[in-house]
Structure 1
């Protein structure tokens, strides 16, 4: 595990010395001070706005990292991946920027907004009946059968290293940060951020935020192994789904996450509403999970400098309106 952390930190550093921010379609996102959240917790709260990233999600960072690090012969034959939407859009955008053919496997129930975004970026889209987990299973099987390169949404050192660039940006933009809160699905985002921040500022608290209806990685961390976890529908669809067998993110999450919290669907919806009303931004449920975690534990952040990662903005109008109805 320590070797994985060290390798990821080294890979993230190399990205800064490459064309990551030019050829791959990634840019450094802004860090916004939040007066309302700062007032709520009597501290200083900053929003790392990955919702403003290319494709509206942090996922393009990992995708660009993975595709840029492919051997040339594999770039020409193309890659495939599975995604509930954001990783698919990020991979499609990165592949288009780098001239690499890509096929994206998605669950048939993918939102229209996410499907349209992926298709417009030129990827071949394959819909699979069933869950996001099953789409991933089909993609893995097809990759094995055809010999194509499969790019995991999270279980890949280059993916995690790409997400780690967020951690380095956080340290540059808020060098006195005391805590970073990020939502957790497969664990690639928080593994990359946590590995890099801990390498430079080890006392920084890394907080994993989970929807109460689908705290899969949290349950796996508690069991110290990847297990099947019963899930229920959640506004945080971007973090939903099981963990790939043998995923390196489990050990990384156990190593870098200092505290965890779960939040209810109502708390997620309230957080989404707060960001809309006070920052004029639409965020997806997974980002709402991180905001709700700060609010739920506000006393823990008195006089602290806290960064919340707003991981994305890709939410359908129907889902967002449903969330707003919940908290009227």
Structure 2
């Protein structure tokens, strides 16, 4: 896709692995029976959500900080992040005896802030976005001389993240396709460096959230291009522009970049919870979302498929919202507005009909002032648990057959 040579090679990744020996975990490779049945080929999940600090980020952060000179270490490090990179830098700095200051948005999730502090870093909250935190971290670096540890755009970081690729080849030697979520491209670029050199025929696929996709336009233009918007539940891969290091790395080595929408990400997260028994953050579920959406295409390639679960640091409140969204997207949860007559017993009759149709009512709201209701009618908002698309359609059809006006 580009004539620029990749800045990081497989030998760089091997050197990083030697540095990381005894520091990071060799994360498990979990079989995925349901996804294997969906695609018609063996599917495995690389569980970086079970890595120290809950994501792959410790690999790159430790590699970067460990290679600083004694003088640079003495000045400390700074970083900016809303979560995973913050924790990776904090733990890496603690292990190496380096002072770390991490800038995080004012509204960063409390569990992530607490975890970062728990690893020994000083946390400075300010601004509304990660971009604000990046500016503050850069200013602090210039003011104090502390080294700015970039979340993805440095060869040492890319090499450290690439050790995931070495483990993939050891755990699934005959792998045919690897799907990796992509934000700035550090993980994808590092993994691709290993796979392209050691197993040239492997299909390497990057995955972005459609609402925060800077890579497709950048690859088409042949240089980094800033995305037009950043709106996604997958905040871990919401990066506005590919890096100057990661762009030539990724563009030279991968086969394709795909995007997935919010519904599919939510469905993939629910799938990981229900079928794989794994807690994964939205960004970490993106590779599974791409596989679910393109099962025939990716399942048709030669050799097993590996989807990298890049992280599992999800705020419990966000998890609740995403689970509900995922259930709605997969037609397991249904919200309806049903118009009934305003008379004694009408609501009870409606609920009886819903029960007869096999749905479980989780919430009911009854109103006489919704929209332009005719005199003598009321609006009943129902929240229902269903068994899937066919059951959802049967419920709606059954209520309409009973004479009710039904809307979403």
Instruction: Provide TM-score, normalisation by structure 2.
Output: 0.76
Off by >3 Å, runs of 4+ in structure 1: none
Gaps of 5+ in 1: none
Aligned positions of 1:41-56 closer than 5 A: 41-56=39-54
Q: Do 1:286 and 1:312's aligned partners in 2 also have CA atoms closer than 8 Å?
A: yes
Q: Corresponding residue for 1:286?
A: 283
Counterpart Cα distance in 2 of 1:298 and 1:313 = 23
Question: Offset at 1:217?
Answer: 2.3
- Deviation, 1:233, is 2.6
Matches within 5 A, 1:1-328: 1-2=4-5, 4-6=7-9, 9-18=10-19, 20-22=20-22, 25-243=23-241, 247-300=244-297, 301-302=299-300, 304-326=303-325, 327=327, 328=333
1:16 Cα offset (Å) = 3.0
Q: Which whole-Å CA distance do the structure 2 matches of 1:186 and 1:296 have between them?
A: 23
Say which structure is richer in helix: 1
Give the distance between the partners of 1:208 and 1:240, measured in 2 at CA. Answer: 14
Q: Which runs of 5+ in 2 are unaligned?
A: 328-332, 334-408
- Partner in structure 1 of residue 340 of structure 2: none
Q: CA deviation at 1:96?
A: 0.8
Question: Does the 8 Å contact 1:35/1:45 carry over to 2?
Answer: yes
> Per the alignment, do residues 181 and 3 of structure 1 end up closer, same or farther by CA in structure 2, a change over 3 Å counting?
closer
How many residues are aligned here?
A: 322
3-state SS of 2:123 partner: strand
In the aligned structure 1, how far is the partner of 2:216 from the partner of 2:254? 10
Larger RCO: Structure 1 or Structure 2 (Cα < 8 Å, ≥ 6 residues apart)?
A: 1
CA contact (8 A) 2:104 2:125 kept: yes
How many angstroms apart in 1 are the aligned matches of 2:216 and 2:138?
A: 24
- Structure 2 distance, partners of 1:324, 1:15, is 37
What secondary structure does 1:115 align onto? helix
Counterpart contact for 1:111–1:316, Cα < 8 Å: yes
